[in-house]
Structure 1
Amino acid sequence: MKFTYNWLREYVAVELGPEEIAARLTLLGLEVDAVEPLYAELAPVRVARVAAVHPHPNADRLTLCDVEDGEAQMRRVVCGAPNVRAGMYSALVTPGAVLPGGLKIKASKIRGERSEGMLCSAQELGLAADAEAATGIMDLDPAAIPSLEPGLPLRTALGLADTLFEVDLTPNRPDCTGVIGLAREVAGFTGLPLRRPVEQAPLLPTPEQAGSDLPFTVAVEAAECHRYAARLLRNLRIAPSPPWLQQRLQAVGLRPINNIVDVTNLVMLEYGQPMHAFDFDRLAGGRIRVRRAAQQEKITTLDGVARELTPAMLVIADSDQPVAVAGIMGGASSEVGPDSVNILLESACFEAKSVRTTAAALKLATDSSYRFERGVDPQVAPLALERAVALILELAGGEAVPGGIDYRAGVQPSSELILRLRRVNDLLGTALDIDTVEKVLAGIEITGERADDQTLRITPPSFRVDLEREVDLIEEVARLVGYDRIPAAMPKVAMELPAVDPVAERRRRLRSLMQAAGCHEAINYSFVNPAHADTLQLPADDPRRQALPLLNPLSEEQAVMRTSLLPGLLDNARHNINHQSPDLRLFELGKVFFVEERQDLPREEEHLAAVFSGRRSPRAPMLWTGEEPVDIYDVKGVMEELLTGLALADLQLVPAATTPSYAMASFQLIITDGPEGELLGEAGKIQPAVLKAFGIKQEVFYLELNLTELSRCRSTSAGFAALPRFPAVKWDLAMLVPEEVEAGEMLAAIRKTGGKLLEQVEIFDVYRGKHIEPGRKSVAFAIHYRDAEQTLNDKKVGVVHGKIIKMLEQRFHGQLREA
């Protein structure tokens, strides 16, 4: 938004300088990007009076002019302008100055005669672009400029001494897209009154109330039009605008066109209310229809471009065709030109979203759409209309047809807001009183009434469409009081460690354990291929088949939410193997999603999955480990390390009761005190058919844990034990047991029977073959005994060892194997 200092002072009589105003506006949240003096390049140009004109002795088209420029001595200037005459006032540039075009003026001889400066045309000074302005020097009228005298700076004489402001507006401040809105902010921090050109407009009749004698009709057929006011002006004279109006528009970067169009642009910049003028004689049927465009309807806009419209676009139409794209640009068919006589003037309010989408679809951004997209105050439309009518009649003559039309059925009243003083001070950290809050808000015309001595009841003004909640009003109080005046205070922070999030700590621990096991973490999308359920050969009744579909998937391969981490890791495995990295240990820690009946959102579970393939120790020398591949016991070892590291109780690894459809040689993790051994995880070897479906040509082992369920398990308490003072005793034990006896059960039974003396037990051999009868196996244990209070002897160890042998014989039908 651009405006000038002198223009601002027409609405608020501020005495602060431009730099101070810019600083105060920026503190109010209206960032001023630039403050630049206007026509600074004209600073050396002065008013001069031509005292006498003499013929040039050596050139017929040149004259010698004696010029008064406020100095004691008269200057001699050679001039070639045909309009120069004695007694006229013009613009003089003296030697040493530089013209706006870059020409440096020097004292020189022209056809043998010395010239001490240059009398300039308006075009040479950059004040006019037409060729006619270049045919003669500037002719300043003393009657129009009473203060005219030799030596007066030309910027002062022409009223060009001004300062341009450029404000970078945020989208939530449409009230400041007009100079009056910015003047309101200045009036707020200076306490000065705000003066408007039109304070109140007569209430025009609605379309239903308008009489039949009115020469035009208005019909609003679309809800996106909230207000539409129009008046008719007759017998106007289209001409260039007066210099003051042209200069004002040029100062803010607009090109003057004619007195009618220039007035609509001026009022738009003044009130922030876009306007449009139609040539009334070119409107078919004298009718205005605010409607949606028809399919493939076309309009040629004022920029000469033919545009195809859609039914989503709002247009202004006459009886036959669209004559404007609502809120964006008028049509060429009703353009105001030199021959126009009767003008229909429009001042409307259109829905911001409608204008924004239409402007984007047409790739057409204008000063009008810039304001409508942010939200225009519907109550300003009749005020801007009256202001424009008054200016047009002043500049173009003619007369206004009595009355007009004002459609206002779409104007909605603002909702009342409650502002609590306690809430203001709590949020801002201030100690403001109710009088101060009420005063600063009233300074920008936000008024209300007191509900009590701590509460204000406020109805936001129509020009502040951004005030929707109490906190919006509190923000207004903060910026009006001044952010720099709100005391700063360091936050109170307790000097203590933050509470540890158990879920985050568990994730950290799991990652550390998996990395210690030689695994690398993979991160995959939660959106997966619906075909994964078939690739894993899941049964029809498996809940993992009920994947949640996405409404707007990224691709067909990412159309559902995952119900397992395995497919993603198998895809990772294939990718690595195909890129000459066959030795891999990958894990992923993430969420899976299951559809819940009669629930809008899926049930989320956190899982950990891993895949293992290739050599067991690919980085070790082959002479040490050979080419041993990973197997099911590697996976089992990682699973046991995880359980040990998490310190969870009541868990047991057992052979799988039923092997999953995608696996073989699998085992399961169950909770021993849960209902029927509740399943918390599984591990095993992937079926060859599944590997083939994934494009993998080597063995792959896997594990998957349900961390959500695992987190409900009881934790074992960690404790400290002193280092032992007495030596341990190791006794070996080999038992012949039936083939179906599980070694894990034997280990658990030995630990329980051994009591306090048993320190450690481990299996060091399982043998089948010669001297062992079929259907049986030999399992050898290394048992470590230790007493914390004394040195053990064979007698004491033998008692406990004998109990263990007896228990194994009775419970597992074992037989002590002789050496």
Structure 2
Amino acid sequence: MKISLNWLKQYISLPESPEQISALLTRSGLEVEHLEKIESVPGGMEGIVIGEVLTCARHPDADKLSITTVDIGNNTIVPIVCGASNVAAGQKVIVATVGATLYPTGSEPFKIKKAKIRGEVSEGMICAEDEIGVGTSHAGIIVADTDLPNGTPASIYFNLEPDYIFEIGLTPNRADAASHIGVIRDLKALLNRPYQLPPVENFRIATAGKPFDVRVEEPAGCPRYSGLTISGIMVKESPEWLKKRLQSIGLSPINNVVDVTNFVLHELGQPLHAFDAAHITGNQVLVKTLPQDTPFVTLDKQTRKLQSFDLMICNAEEGMCIAGVFGGITSGVTSETKAIFLESACFSPAYIRRTSQYHGLKTDASFRFERGTDPNNTVYALKRAALLIQEVAGGEITSDIVDIYPQPVGEREIPMLYKHIDRLIGKSIERPAIQTILANLDIQIQNEDETGFTAIVPAYRVDVLREADVIEEILRIYGYDNIELPPYQYSSFLAEFPVTDKNKLQAKISSLLADNGFYEIITNSLTKQAYTQKFNAVASGQDIEILNKLSEDLGVLRQTLLFSGMEVLAYNLNRRQKELKLFEFGTIYYKQEGKYIEKQRLALVLAGDKQAESWLEKTKPVDFHVLASAVQKILHRMNVKKFDSSETKHPVFSYGLTFTLNGKELVNFGLVQSNASKFMEIKSPVWYADFDWEYLLKQYNASLAAEEIAKFPEVRRDLSLVIDKNVSFKQIRQLATAQERRLLKSVNVFDVYEGENIGKDKKSYSVSFILQDEQATLTDQIIDRTMQKLIGTFEKELNAVIRK
């Protein structure tokens, strides 16, 4: 939401700097995400001043040039060579001084420098309209009709005050602040300063009557509907002040009538709509729904099929407007319009939200109606808009105000206790200060005594519903920064917290991965259903489909983190990022036996090079061992040291491993199928690991197991085994461990060889064995006997050949 500082100043005194106002609003909950300075003329006419031509004579060497002397203020008189035919002594002119940058209309900017023109010194430039960007005329210099002293900045003469735009990240609960007056209400409370609403006392009805029969047939969708008729208008371009107001907040002017409705929307937060009275057939304005799939052409010339829940503004024959969302193409205001019916209504947020989401229509009006507008503001906004339309388009008000409001919405009464205010704020605020804050927020105080009071909350504060909400209002205006921290912090708990802190564990693993060169990503939970249909990496028929999907690309909730991770890989690889090691903590969603299920997962996605190329080491592609190392580091950090390993059966992998604990999968990891990589337009291999994060958290053991350091040395012996290719290292380790449980501490492969020298379908493993006796020093006889037992087992069980 964009708010103009100059616009705010029309209603409240704001001598504070834009930065100070920005900080005030942010501290009170209206977070200013961006502050931008805008100027109606580029450069703000810096270095351009009012001057007076003292003398003017013809240039001796050029018939079309004049030599002038110009007083530019501060007792400074400069010579200027001028080519305009209308320059003369005694004129007040616009002078660009040396060093000023000009932004000509339709041309590139240039800087004024001291120069010699045909041998005569020129220290500045007397300007025409187009040369300083205030017009298009180049017929002659600007002759200023002013009494301003010489040297006065030209921006003052042209009334070019710069504006500042606050871009506010409005939270959904603050519907009341979705306008300039809404922001002013907060500034009033923050600064304890009054503001002035635009007056409507001059509102007059020229001809009393009720030319249109207005009926609300769907009262649940329209609690209040107000309107009036204005006749004899002239639709044309808006005046400059109105166009500038709208342009300052990023809106494009359309015509004077539509611009007024947009102006009042952003001024008061009340959406309005103007109907061409000539297109209201049967003299009827009906608020109702139409049958399912009724076609309706909106202002963007698209034909939409209406739903049975879409609230419509209709005439006697057809729909004219999707209520609170978007107008129809036939009933809008055009240059031919001579009379309008002006609508100011309050629509149900539930109706508008459902319609807006279904049709994918997000407008300034629906933005406000979805959050809740003030039902008690419709008539005031109607009068304000009618007066402005009369000002810019002429015409007369030719009907009484129609106001259908069967069940008025009153103020809310909320009982308040001072002890609760003190407890929740953490500080006892002086009672007069509380009363002032609430009064400035339009919250009245009644039935006050020493224990508390009754807060009377206006209807426009749709988010203030209970005692805690009122206390929050007091606190945000009083200032969170003004609550001192006590010298000692303490907490009391109703129940004992679990030992495992999931957030700390996640932060610990995030730090581990970041330390090892991984980057964290956060991707959208919505994804393409094509991934489910194309690959069997996820379960078909278990997708949770979005009912009001905006597009097929965001049509279902993801069942895996793989494809969103691969989208990030593809994006970065296409931008020549070659070292990609990514991780994400995220939620997956699926249906199972009619139930909706969410699971927390941790995913690792790798592609490209292992590290950046340098003089010290050539780059290598990421391989399985890089991924496996990261997986084992995570398990080690989580104190999960014993688990079973097997080849993965998951269809997404060409090959890989599955680590299980107590029969349940901890992690699947390996090389992603090439068809998936090709579908995502990734040329390099993709490595992926998928952790069951919830199960892994349950296995975490914070206690450290301490063991006494062995007093006796360990011994290493190596064997080179020629074995069949289908024999895995897991089989070797299991056989060795089963044969020698007491002395064998670890088994490791440190070299693998395949080639013709050892025969077809054979491979050679160089395996190390660490032996240690915790009770005594190992002797050669014991070591040799142990190794012979292992050799015999390998030869018998694996048909291994021991290379000497």
TM-score, length basis structure 2:
0.57
2:590 to 554, 558, 566: 554
> 1:267 — aligned with what?
264
What amino acid is the match of 2:440? G
CA–CA distance in 1 between the matches of 2:321 and 2:87?
48
How far off its partner does 1:248 sit? Answer: 2.2
> 2:194 — aligned with what?
193
CA–CA distance in 2 between the matches of 1:582 and 1:391?
72
Report the count of equivalent residues: 540
How far off its partner does 1:472 sit? Answer: 0.5
Q: Is the 8 A contact 1:50 1:65 kept in 2?
A: no
Change (3 A) 1:299 1:408: same
- Where do 5+ consecutive residues of structure 1 fail to align? 205-209, 505-526, 531-551, 562-571, 591-607, 609-614, 629-819
Change (3 A) 1:499 1:95: closer
How far off its partner does 1:250 sit? Answer: 2.2
Q: What do residues 706-737 of structure 1 show as CA deviations (whole Å, max 9, x unaligned)? A: xxxxxxxxxxxxxxxxxxxxxxxxxxxxxxxx
Say yes or no: does 1:214 pair with 2:210.
Answer: yes
Name which one, 1 or 2, has greater alpha-carbon Rg: 1
Q: Is the 8 A contact 1:219 1:288 kept in 2?
A: yes
Change (3 A) 1:98 1:555: same
How far off its partner does 1:393 sit? Answer: 1.7
Say yes or no: does 1:19 pair with 2:55.
Answer: no
Q: RMSD value over aligned CA atoms?
A: 4.8
Q: Is the 8 A contact 1:393 1:399 kept in 2?
A: yes
> 2:72 — aligned with what?
70
CA–CA distance in 1 between the matches of 2:469 and 2:431?
17
> 1:28 — aligned with what?
28
1:452 to 449, 454, 479: 449
Partner SS for 1:489: coil
What amino acid is the match of 1:369? S
How far off its partner does 1:493 sit? Answer: 4.2
CA–CA distance in 2 between the matches of 1:308 and 1:557?
34
> 2:173 — aligned with what?
172
Where do residues 693-704 of structure 1 align in structure 2 (5 Å cutoff)? none
1:397 to 394, 399, 417: 394
Q: What do residues 471-504 of structure 1 show as CA deviations (whole Å, max 9, x unaligned)? A: 10110111111111112126644899x9697999
Q: Is the 8 A contact 2:5 2:18 kept in 1?
A: yes
How far off its partner does 1:48 sit? Answer: 4.2
CA–CA distance in 1 between the matches of 2:321 and 2:61?
61
Q: What do residues 210-268 of structure 1 show as CA deviations (whole Å, max 9, x unaligned)? A: 99x42222222222122221111121233333332222222222223332222222211
What amino acid is the match of 2:157? A
1:586 to 657, 662, 668: 662
Change (3 A) 1:341 1:474: same
Partner SS for 1:332: coil
How far off its partner does 1:386 sit? Answer: 1.0
What amino acid is the match of 1:455? G
> 2:329 — aligned with what?
332
2:414 to 402, 409, 417: 417
Where do residues 293-692 of structure 1 align in structure 2 (5 Å cutoff)? 293-409=290-406, 411-489=408-486, 492-493=489-490, 554-555=590-591, 586-587=662-663, 622=735, 625=738
Q: What do residues 164-183 of structure 1 show as CA deviations (whole Å, max 9, x unaligned)? A: 13122211111111111211
Partner SS for 2:447: strand
> 2:100 — aligned with what?
97
Q: Is the 8 A contact 1:201 1:382 kept in 2?
A: no
Change (3 A) 1:85 1:489: same
Q: Is the 8 A contact 1:99 1:125 kept in 2?
A: yes
Where do residues 758-769 of structure 1 align in structure 2 (5 Å cutoff)? none
TM-score, length basis structure 1:
0.56
Q: Is the 8 A contact 1:231 1:344 kept in 2?
A: yes
Q: Is the 8 A contact 1:93 1:105 kept in 2?
A: no
How far off its partner does 1:121 sit? Answer: 6.5
> 2:686 — aligned with what?
none
Partner SS for 2:273: strand
Say yes or no: does 1:106 pair with 2:112.
Answer: yes
Change (3 A) 1:221 1:160: farther
What amino acid is the match of 2:38? L
CA–CA distance in 2 between the matches of 1:86 and 1:336?
52
> 2:43 — aligned with what?
41
CA–CA distance in 2 between the matches of 1:122 and 1:275?
38
Change (3 A) 1:112 1:244: farther
Q: Is the 8 A contact 1:279 1:344 kept in 2?
A: yes
CA–CA distance in 1 between the matches of 2:740 and 2:656?
16
Q: Is the 8 A contact 1:528 1:559 kept in 2?
A: no
Partner SS for 1:554: strand
CA–CA distance in 2 between the matches of 1:325 and 1:583?
57
What amino acid is the match of 1:192? R
Q: Is the 8 A contact 1:18 1:163 kept in 2?
A: no
CA–CA distance in 1 between the matches of 2:62 and 2:305?
61
> 1:594 — aligned with what?
none
What amino acid is the match of 2:32? V
Partner SS for 1:442: helix
Q: Is the 8 A contact 2:2 2:249 kept in 1?
A: yes
Change (3 A) 1:302 1:311: same
How far off its partner does 1:298 sit? Answer: 3.5
What amino acid is the match of 1:235? G
Q: Is the 8 A contact 2:272 2:342 kept in 1?
A: yes
CA–CA distance in 2 between the matches of 1:624 and 1:479?
66
How far off its partner does 1:345 sit? Answer: 1.6
Q: Is the 8 A contact 2:203 2:387 kept in 1?
A: no
Change (3 A) 1:412 1:49: same
CA–CA distance in 2 between the matches of 1:351 and 1:3?
26
Partner SS for 1:438: helix
Say yes or no: does 1:276 pair with 2:273.
Answer: yes
Change (3 A) 1:286 1:584: closer
Partner SS for 1:373: helix
Q: What do residues 49-85 of structure 1 show as CA deviations (whole Å, max 9, x unaligned)? A: 685999999999x77595856344365464579x989
